[in-house]
Structure 1
C-alpha cells in the first residue's frame, strides 16, 4: 500500500525533512531529560520554530496535536521503550513495543511511527526483541497505511564506563541498515558514520527506502551543519536531531539554520548567521 502519510512529512519542494526528536523521557535516564524538563514549553517552542516533524511518545504527543491550526509540525510517534541507554546499565536489558501502537498513532494523526533495531555487543536477545517488535508493528502498519521508521542502532561499550555509546563503524551500520530494509522499513533513521564520506554506502544499503540521519550527542554548531550538508549531498533524505536542537541555547535559531540547509541548500556560513550566540 502506498504510504500517503509520507506526503505530509517530506517538504514538497526539497523532498527532504527535519524531524526533531523529543522522545528521550521514555528511556528512564535522567541525563536525557536535561533541557526538556518542561515538555509543554519545549513543544510550544518547537511548534513556533516550525520543523517538518516532531518525534514524541504516545504520552506527550497530545501536546503537539492539541495545538490549533493546520500548519504545525507533523507527529512521528515513538513506539518502543528500552533500557539500553542507562549508565550504569540495568539487568536484564529489554526493548518492548506498545502493543496497540499503530492504532494509537492513527488516532493521534501521526505521519509515521518509529521503532528501534538495536545491535548491542553480547546481547543478541535484545536485537531479537526488536525484530519481533518490528514484525508485529509492520503487520498493523500495513493494515492502516502507517509508515514504519526503523532506527538501526549499532552500539559499543563505553571504555571505563557501564553504558553503551554509538558505534560509527561503516560496515556495522551498513549491515544493520540493510537488515532494516529487509524487514520492510518505509523509512530508516541511521547514525552518521565515523568517516562521513562513507555515508553514501548507508544510503545504498537502504535502496529506495529514504534515510534520515540521527544527530546523536551534542556537537558544536559548525560541526553539526557541516555534517548535515555532507550526508544530504550523499543522498540522505533528511535528519532526525534531538539534543542538538532541544539542548541548544537557541532552539529556534538552530532549527532555522537546519531548515535552511535541508530545504534551501544554504551554505554553512549562511546558516550559522541564523543562530543567536553561535558556538
Structure 2
C-alpha cells in the first residue's frame, strides 16, 4: 500500500506528462529569518503557483500561512531539517519535524538537507537513514538536498564532489536528489549519469541576470536533469510569476532560453 501512496504523492510534486518538476524552496526563514520575498507567504505561494511551479518547500509552522483557498493547486513538501546562520555551526542540520507529523499536515513529500565534508556529517547521515526508513514505511516521497559544505571541501562545485553528493542521496534511499549545478551541461551530465534517481539543481545565491538563471536551467535539462529547485532566484525576483513561467517553458515545454525570455519582457 505504501508503494501506491508514494506513486500518488509523486504525481503531486512532479509533472506526470514530463516526469520533471519545478520546486520552489521557501524554507529560508529558519536559517536566514524573514527575508524579502517570504514575508507574505500567501502571496509568495500564489505567485509561483500561477507561474506553473509543481511544488513548494516549507517548514511545518508556515503551512497554514501559505494556504490560499484559490488559484492553481501546488504540491507541498515539508522540510525536516533546520539550522540558523546565528549558530557557530550553521552547516550542522538537525531534524525538526518527523515524517508522520508532515503527513498529518497534508504534505505530499518531505525533504532533508545533508551537508557533507564537515565534522557533523556523521550525525546528518544518521538522521538521513532514519528519515529514509520512515518515508518508505509511510509511502512518502523524500527529496534529499545534498551539499558539499565544510572544512574538507575545497570546491563545492567540483563535478566529482557534486557527483558524490548526488550518489549519497541515491544510495541512502531518496526519491529525488537536489545538488548544485556544476557550471556546464557536459560536467552536469556526469552527475546525472552517476545517479539512478531524478536529479534537480539548486538555484544558489541570488543572481542579477535572468539570462544566467535560464541558461543554468537549460544546461541542467540538456544534461538529463529532472528539473530545478530554485528559491531566492524565484521568490526574490521582481516578478516571481514571470520567472517561474519562463523556467516552466524550459523544463516542461522544452523551449530554449530565447523563447523563455519572452515571458520576462
TM-score by length of 1: 0.85
From 102, 114, 119, the equivalent of 1:105 is 102
Matches within 5 A, 1:1-279: 2=3, 3-4=6-7, 5-27=9-31, 29-30=32-33, 33-64=35-66, 66-68=67-69, 71-83=72-84, 86=85, 90-91=88-89, 94-99=92-97, 101-120=98-117, 123-124=118-119, 126-155=120-149, 167-207=156-196, 209-219=197-207, 220-276=209-265
Q: Is the 8 A contact 2:203 2:229 kept in 1?
A: yes
* Partner in structure 2 of residue 160 of structure 1: none
Q: CA deviation at 1:269?
A: 1.1
Counterparts of 1:75 and 1:166, CA distance in 2? 32
Q: Distance in 2 between matches of 1:15 and 1:104?
A: 27
- Stretches of structure 2 that go unaligned for 5 or more consecutive residues are none
- C-alpha contact (below 8 Å) 1:153/1:166 kept by paired residues: no
Quick one: structure 1 residues 7 and 19, their matched pair in 2 at CA, closer, same or farther if it must change by over 3 Å?
A: same
CA distance in 1, matches of 2:161, 2:202: 16
Q: Deviations over 1:230-279 (max 9, x none)?
A: 11111111110000001100111101101111111112111111014xxx
**Distance in 2 separating the partners of 1:138 and 1:154:** 20
- The count of aligned residue pairs is 259
- Give the match's secondary structure for 1:152: strand
Corresponding residue SS for 1:185: coil
Deviates more, 1:18-27 or 1:36-45: 36-45
SS at match of 2:263: coil
Report how far residue 166 of structure 1 moved.
7.5
When the two chains are superposed, the root-mean-square deviation of aligned CA atoms in Å is 2.3
User: Is the CA contact (8 Å cut-off) linking 1:169 and 1:194 kept in structure 2?
Assistant: no
Partner Cα distance (1:55, 1:230) in 2: 23
User: What TM-score do you get using the length of structure 2 for normalisation?
Assistant: 0.89
Runs of 5+ unmatched residues, structure 1: 158-163
Q: Give, in angstroms, the shift of residue 138 of structure 1.
A: 1.4
